[in-house]
Amino acid sequence: MVYRDSVVTGYWKGNIYQGKELKPPYKITNIRNISRYTITKTVDRANEVRIKILMGGSDNTEIEEFALAYDSGTEYRMGNTFGIQNTSFPLYVKISYRTWNQMHTAHHDVIFEFTIYEAGTWDVIISN
């Protein structure tokens, strides 16, 4: 007797097979003082994370005390884009900086921590 269609791995709910278990491509672990963000995979060939920080839809040029922590790769900066190249995955990233609010009435400490699990080029856009 041959069992060809036997399912060993995957996601079961009760006694019903739901399909292959899908892992999310990234996980956010900490967000502080960010109005919105996007994390998008753009290319499969390079292993890189590009970070752009915006305020009101434009580049945020009033960033203070910027710090970028990560567990592999090399940091670079090109204009208003920060990046990490030659990374290995999974990649943990912590971004922290100080910036004005949109009304320029108070400073905020921003923290954004995430882990990316899939290799490729990733664009991270943070809006304050």
Residue 65's pLDDT band, with cuts at 50, 70 and 90, is very high
**pLDDT at residue 31 tops 70:** yes
pLDDT given for residue 9 in this prediction = 66
Closest CA to 127 of 27, 25, 33, 29: 33
Residues in a beta bridge with 127: 36, 54
Average pLDDT over residues 39-48: 89
pLDDT given for residue 127 in this prediction = 93
Distance, in Å, from the CA atom of 108 to the CA atom of 88, rounded to the nearest integer, reads 31
Average pLDDT, the chain: 88
CB 36 within 8 A of CB 124: no
> Per residue in 110-123, pLDDT tens?
999 999 999 999 99
Tokens matching residue 38: 């996007």
